[in-house]
Amino acid sequence: MKSQYVNELKRGQVVKESFVLSKKTIKEKKDGGAYAVLEFSDRSGSIEGIAWDNTVESLSTIGVGDIVFISGNVNEYNDRLQIVVNSAHRIADEDVDPRDFLPQSEADIDRVMAEIDTFRARIKNRFLAKLLALFFEDDAFVKNFSTAPAAKRVHHAYIGGLAVHTLHVLQLTEHVQKVYPNINTDLLITAGILHDVGKIDEYSYSKKLDVTTAGRMLGHIMIGYKAIADKIATIPQFPEILKLKLLHMIVSHHGEFEWGSPKPPMFLEALILHFVDNLDAKAEMMIDELRKNKNHGKDWSDYHPFLEREIFLKEEM
Ligand SMILES: [Fe+2]
Ligand SMILES: [Fe+2]
């Protein structure tokens, strides 16, 4: 954990802390020397920085997006706080906790993961239980699953977003199953847990949320399909139809070709997974608009490019 966050910095304070270097411009002074105009960020916000002379040299090997440990002082310049940097050096990504630098879930992720585990524990089909165990008994996978966002911007775009979205999908399917009791619960839970596992590799989330090269080229449906198919291949006698149904649910969960699914849902569990996935994503977008516009006194949100509409914000009747 960091001990100094951007939103707590005060004028006159000494800073010895790590931040993401979020902007860097090297400029020339009139006398020929150089100075650097900088910006540092963490999960709480960002602050300008400035560095002179020798310090500028040490910044030459540090790029935008790198984590940097700086020492300096907080000054006020043009009514804004600014860090005057005395020294700076780059820190390896492995040496920092991404939670310090990225937007966080409001939910307790350990509890969310524990709840996902209670759904997993209900599965009776031994092949599906084994498949999930191959994922969730791997510590590195669990760490990534509980850290990954569910999106870069659109919905659940924060650390832990994938786990929160996955739990919502499972909770929604639980209600749907009460209405349609003859559906295959084991299959629906397994596909619910795994439907977005590809997001672990679709996004990078160590310093800032971004889409990886694999994410850009393949997307989470293809990445997830391969990860699941590879694990199934290691389980002896995994039934062929069960494999096809589960993989179909992964590739069809976006519901339509234009939304990234190569096939539409072709049986009931696949159809239900698509609709609850879509419901949670869109409900979260609306909730986000309400949250962002709270206390702004507006009746309508700006046009939402993904929902393709404005959202009515007034909550009172
Ligand atoms: Fe998805
Ligand atoms: Fe999803």
How many Å apart are CA 40 and CA 42, to the nearest integer? 7
Query: In the numeric block, which tokens belong to residue 89?
Result: 């050096």
pLDDT band per the 50, 70, 90 thresholds, residue 96: confident
How many Å apart are CA 227 and CA 201, to the nearest integer? 10
pLDDT score at 209: 79
Q: Which ligand gives the minimal distance to the CA of 254?
A: 1
pLDDT score at 14: 97
pLDDT score at 64: 85
Averaged pLDDT, 184-211: 92
Radius of gyration of the chain (CA): 23
How many Å apart are CA 269 and CA 250, to the nearest integer? 11
pLDDT score at 185: 97
pLDDT score at 36: 95
Sign (positive or negative) of CA dihedral 290, 291, 293, 296: positive
How many Å apart are CA 300 and CA 259, to the nearest integer? 27
- For each of the domains in the chain, give its residue range(s) and CATH number, in order of start: 6-95 (2.40.50.140), 102-293 (1.10.3210)
What mean pLDDT value characterizes the chain?
A: 92
Q: Is 279 helix (H, G, I), strand (E, B) or coil?
A: helix
Q: Which ligand gives the minimal distance to the CA of 162?
A: 2
Q: Tell me the range of 39-48, 102-111, 240-249 where mean pLDDT is highest.
A: 240-249
Query: In the numeric block, which tokens belong to residue 69?
Result: 């440990």
CA of 197 to the centre of ligand 2 (A): 9
In this structure, the chain runs to a length of 317
CA of 200 to the centre of ligand 2 (A): 12
CA of 103 to the centre of ligand 1 (A): 20
Q: Which ligand gives the minimal distance to the CA of 192?
A: 2
Does residue 142 surpass a pLDDT of 90? yes
Q: What is the DSSP-derived secondary structure letter of residue 198?
A: T
Does residue 139 surpass a pLDDT of 80? yes
How many Å apart are CA 159 and CA 205, to the nearest integer? 7
CA of 168 to the centre of ligand 2 (A): 9
Does residue 109 surpass a pLDDT of 90? yes
pLDDT band per the 50, 70, 90 thresholds, residue 53: confident
Q: Which ligand gives the minimal distance to the CA of 220?
A: 1
Long-range contacts of 282-285 (CB under 8 A, 24+ apart): 282/155, 282/307, 284/155, 284/156, 284/165, 284/168, 285/154, 285/155
In terms of Cα–Cα distance, which of 233, 173, 165, 169 is closest to 203? 165
CA of 232 to the centre of ligand 2 (A): 21
CA of 281 to the centre of ligand 2 (A): 7
Residue type, 30: K
Query: In the numeric block, which tokens belong to residue 202?
Result: 């679709």
Specify whether the CB–CB gap between 5 and 44 falls below 8 A: yes
CA of 166 to the centre of ligand 2 (A): 7
pLDDT band per the 50, 70, 90 thresholds, residue 167: very high
Query: In the numeric block, which tokens belong to residue 73?
Result: 């002082």
Place of tokens 């409001």: 106
Q: Tell me the range of 86-90, 235-239, 307-311 where mean pLDDT is highest.
A: 235-239
Q: Which residue has the higher pLDDT, 153 or 160?
A: 160
pLDDT score at 35: 93
In terms of Cα–Cα distance, which of 239, 116, 238 is closest to 169? 116
CA of 277 to the centre of ligand 2 (A): 5
CA distances from 142 to 137, 179, 248, 257 (A): 8, 32, 24, 30
CA of 165 to the centre of ligand 2 (A): 7
CA of 39 to the centre of ligand 2 (A): 34
- Of all residues in the chain, the percent with pLDDT exceeding 70 is 99
pLDDT score at 255: 96
- Crossing angle of helices 240-252/213-232, nearest 10°? 160
Specify whether the CB–CB gap between 122 and 114 falls below 8 A: no
Q: Which of 70-84, 95-109, 235-249 has the lowest mean pLDDT?
A: 95-109
Q: What is the pLDDT of residues 4-29, one digit of tens each?
A: 999 899 999 999 999 999 889 999 98
Q: What is the pLDDT of residues 234-258, one digit of tens each?
A: 999 999 999 999 999 999 999 999 9
pLDDT score at 41: 86
Query: In the numeric block, which tokens belong to residue 163?
Result: 């786990």
